[in-house]
Amino acid sequence: MKSREIKLIRFLKDKIGINFTICEDEFSPYDAYNKDYIVEIKIRENSYKTKAIELSKCYNLIQIAELHSKKAIYVVGDLNGVYVFNLTDKIKDILKMKIEVIKMPFRTELNNNIKINKYVYMLPNKMSKKISLNL
């Protein structure tokens, strides 16, 4: 996990009082967890009115959370704040959304990466709980 995601996890603990354990396995399908939640974290350089989540990532998070009697949370940090999406509670609404195809890098961690079509849901910010960046 990158240092920016670790900082965001610490921010969540300080801001809303929820502590998460960071996954040690770099290939884990999620970034952090606690007794109630599994969490996927994304940091974006730009701010948009919607936040993309790949279908496969969304479905995997929901299934893993269900398997462990937890809720799946998707956290996106950008220039305007931190957006917390409770995928488990919103899955019925998400499944009704249009599936979009976006050409994106195969892996975001690599430079000069080939682009492929990715199937995503564009989650509206209003579906999230926004946490201000101001401490």
pLDDT attached to residue 58: 97
In DSSP terms, 104 is beta-bridged to 116
Round to whole Å and give the CA distance between 84 and 125.
Answer: 9
pLDDT attached to residue 135: 40
Average pLDDT over all residues of the chain: 90
104 Cβ contact list (under 8 Å, min separation 6) = 115, 116, 118
Among 123, 122, 103, which residue's Cα sits nearest to residue 113? 103
Q: How far apart are the first and last CA of the chain?
A: 24
pLDDT attached to residue 109: 64
Please list the ranges in the chain whose pLDDT falls under 50: 135
pLDDT tens column, 45-61: 888 899 999 999 999 99
Q: What tokens were used for 22?
A: 């960071």
